[in-house]
Amino acid sequence: MSTPDDPLFSEEQLEAARILFARPATFMMGAVAIDGLPAPDLPEVAFAGRSNVGKSSLINALVGHHRLARASNEPGRTREVNFFLLDDRLRLVDLPGYGWAKASKGVVKKFQNLGRDYLRGRPNLKRAYLLIDARHGLKDVDKEPMDAFDKAAVSYQIILTKSDKMKPHEVAAVTARTEAAIAKRPAAFPRVLATSSEKGLGLPELRAEIAAACEIDLAPGAI
């Protein structure tokens, strides 16, 4: 983990990332089959996580739009691969959720397979972000997507959500436990980032992480 004396990114880089994510962001399309994906002509980062972990809220908070990605009280509403275009430079991709309580096994398998097909066949995918509720930490159900990332050799980073619901020392503890749990996973990015969509915690760093993963220059004046 970084410390105030050893930050992940400089203030200039964080500001450049903020400017990037303040640029126009639009819903591009939702795909229900692998042959319906857009051309792989822009860098992409993908977001995955259990139902109700806060994927839509995080995507909306990153770009400063309240309604870009639709949230729902119904678990597992995201049953497509949804693409959002940011500044005509990169795409944010919302993968189908997992852990549906009300969906049939056949429906669950169909959309989980769509997510796996996306991971295996997307050459422009720069990184996946696996969202984990900080209050609960990694669960057995999270091992399946991590196994899929490892098998597809897709770099992925664990993002803890809803960290504002916990005390700082509790967030530090769950972050350390999570980093230890993924230490031997071949495709896992070693740094775990704690965030809060509601309070904005960790979002400047996550924006910079995404820009760096997509090889977007964060030097002053480059954005």
Domains in the chain: boundaries: 11-213
What dotted CATH number matches 11-213?
Answer: 3.40.50.300
Quote the pLDDT of residue 4: 41
Cα separations in angstroms, 29 against 15, 26, 80, 81, 216: 29, 9, 9, 8, 23
Average pLDDT over residues 136-146: 90
Quote the pLDDT of residue 105: 56
Asked if pLDDT for residue 111 goes beyond 60, the answer is: no
Q: DSSP alpha helices (H): ranges in 127-202?
A: 143-152, 168-181
More confident residue, 99 or 43: 43
Q: What span, in angstroms and rounded, lies between the C-alpha atoms of 194 and 205?
A: 10
Average pLDDT over residues 98-116: 57
Percent of the chain with pLDDT over 90: 62
Structure tokens at 205: 């760093």
Quote the pLDDT of residue 214: 95
Mean pLDDT taken over the chain: 86
Quote the pLDDT of residue 71: 57
Asked if pLDDT for residue 13 goes beyond 80, the answer is: yes
Asked if pLDDT for residue 220 goes beyond 50, the answer is: yes
Helices (H) and strands (E) counted in the chain, each on its own, are 6, 7
Closest CA to 101 of 160, 58, 50, 136: 50
Structure tokens at 56: 């839509």
3-state secondary structure of 37: coil
Quote the pLDDT of residue 43: 97
Q: DSSP alpha helices (H): ranges in 38-141?
A: 55-63, 105-120
Asked if pLDDT for residue 112 goes beyond 70, the answer is: no
State the first-to-last Cα distance of the chain, in angstroms, to the nearest integer: 27
